Amino acid sequence: MAAVASDKADGQTQWEFSCDLEVDYESEESASIVYAALAVDKELQPDKVKRQMSVSNGKLSVHFEAVEARFLRASYSAFVDVLTLATKTIEEFGKGMEL
C-alpha cells in the first residue's frame, strides 16, 4: 500500500514522509562552511520535497519531508553525496579555512 500526499482543507500538501540527519563536525566553523556550500542547492521539485537545514554547536542538522517515499529517498541520497564531498573537502583542505 502506498501513502500518497493529499490536500488539506486549506489547500496545502501533507508531507507524509520525513527523516532527519545530523552530522557532528565538532566545529562551528566546519559545520557553517558545509551549510553554506549546501544551502545554495535548492530542491529540484520543491512541491514534492522540502529540506530544512540548521547549524548549532558544531552540528549540521537536516530535516527532509516528501509527499512520497521515492522522492524522499532520491533527495536524501543526492544530499548525502554532496555532503560527503563537502566533508571530504574540509578534511583535506580545511585547516585554517574561514567562511
Residues 55-73: tens digit of each pLDDT: 999 999 999 999 999 999 9
Q: How confident is the model at residue 8 (pLDDT cuts 50, 70, 90)?
A: very low
**Residue 26, C-alpha cell as written in the block:** 565538532
Average pLDDT over residues 71-97: 89
Q: How far lies 96's CA from each of 14, 20, 30, 31, in Å?
A: 44, 30, 10, 14
Q: Three-state SS for 50?
A: strand
Does the structure show a pLDDT above 50 at 54?
A: yes
Domains in the chain, start-ordered, CATH in brackets?
17-93 (3.30.310.50)
| pTM (two decimals) | 0.78
Side-by-side strand order, sheet with 17-24: 17-24, 59-66, 49-56
Helix H or strand E segment including 28:
helix 28-39
- Determine the pLDDT at residue 96: 61
User: How many H helices and E strands in the chain?
Assistant: 2, 3
- Determine the pLDDT at residue 97: 55
Does the structure show a pLDDT above 80 at 3?
A: no
Average pLDDT over residues 3-31: 74
CA angle 83, 88, 90 (to 5 degrees): 95
Query: Which distant-in-sequence residues (6+ apart) come within 8 Å of 54 by Cβ?
Result: 35, 60, 61
Average pLDDT over residues 77-92: 93
